[in-house]
Structure 1
Amino acid sequence: MSAAVPAPRAARFAGVLRQVGPVRCALTAALLAATVVLLAHDRAVRHAEACASAFLVRSTWGPDASCTVDNVLFRIDGRLVGQTVTIGCSAVVLIVPFVVVATLLLPVRRMPAVVTLGALGFAAVVVAGVNQLRLLTIATGMHLWGLEHGYGVTHVLAGSIVSTVGIVAGGLTFVVLLTRGARVVRRG
């Protein structure tokens, strides 16, 4: 009676690499590395989000909005107020679930890599855009109803609704692009 000897780890890795393909493995590793870099440098991303939000507030409510680090500053009734884009308010955290799904799909040869990465990119743009709409909603509430009441109502209630709609819209976009894109690529 002979017992099967397990393959060495290097041989198993080489088998997976052959099955998945070096390009897909490299894309998966690059996507994971990009995600780690984004999360590690979230402060730079939050600064970019704060500056985009300040631009939207300037476009909507006047020229006095600015961004400093991860804060959006503007005037309400002559007082300088603002909002901070924390890690919990950043689009980076909202995009991570889509990155996880894309990372799991990239090694699957039945799903074209171009479709997977394209769907991820489009979903990320949708989620980031809706997050900007959420930040503008909060600033608008503060302009319309005052600092405390406007912030309280729009951050908790309206902000949650906008974020939920954004995640659902991003998720639906992601799934539709994945399924339709895969069918189009397979048909040729």
Structure 2
Amino acid sequence: MQLMADDKKVGVLISGTGSNLKALVDALVPIAWVGSNNPDAKGLDFAHRKNIHTFVEPKIKELERLLDETFMQEIEFLVLAGFMRVLSPEFVKKYPKRIINIHPSLLPAFKGTDAIRRAYDYGCKVMGVTIHYVNEKVDEGEIIAQEPLWIVNTILNHNAHHTNQVRYTLKEVEQQVHALEHSMYHKVIRDMLGIGGWG
């Protein structure tokens, strides 16, 4: 069945607090359901309060079976929002350009886990966020959108007549990257659903 633009919704997979999920809900992204591998994910409580259908399945194969048999039929895109498990290549191949992920680096740099800390420790002055389609390899799918973030603060020293670059702390950088994720993800998804909001 071909969904009309007004009927198009996304499904969201989470594993933790669901901060990106909250940003999507606040931006009125139409969400059909929220799934998780973690029964203790705080994002599930948020979804309950918003009357969004939820389900939990810790085993990734069973989770994929549920998605295959039921939940993928209800949505246009599957949105990964802090989902800390890797979907199998067999599952991903079935849904080309229908699974979307957000990653806290400018891919292809710093793929995988702990990307913010690794980029910070490397000494990067520019970091950022990437939204991409999910394929069979981790963080290697086609890039949909990217946005850079400068993590140095340039301060003008009037007495010395030059500028100094002061680097933000790791905690400050993490906060800035996550804020960029929250402001960026919903705009891209709304645009992909054809309901506007990006650009």
Q: TM-score, normalization: structure 1?
A: 0.29
What TM-score, normalized by structure 2, do the two folds share?
A: 0.28
Flag the structure with higher strand content: 2
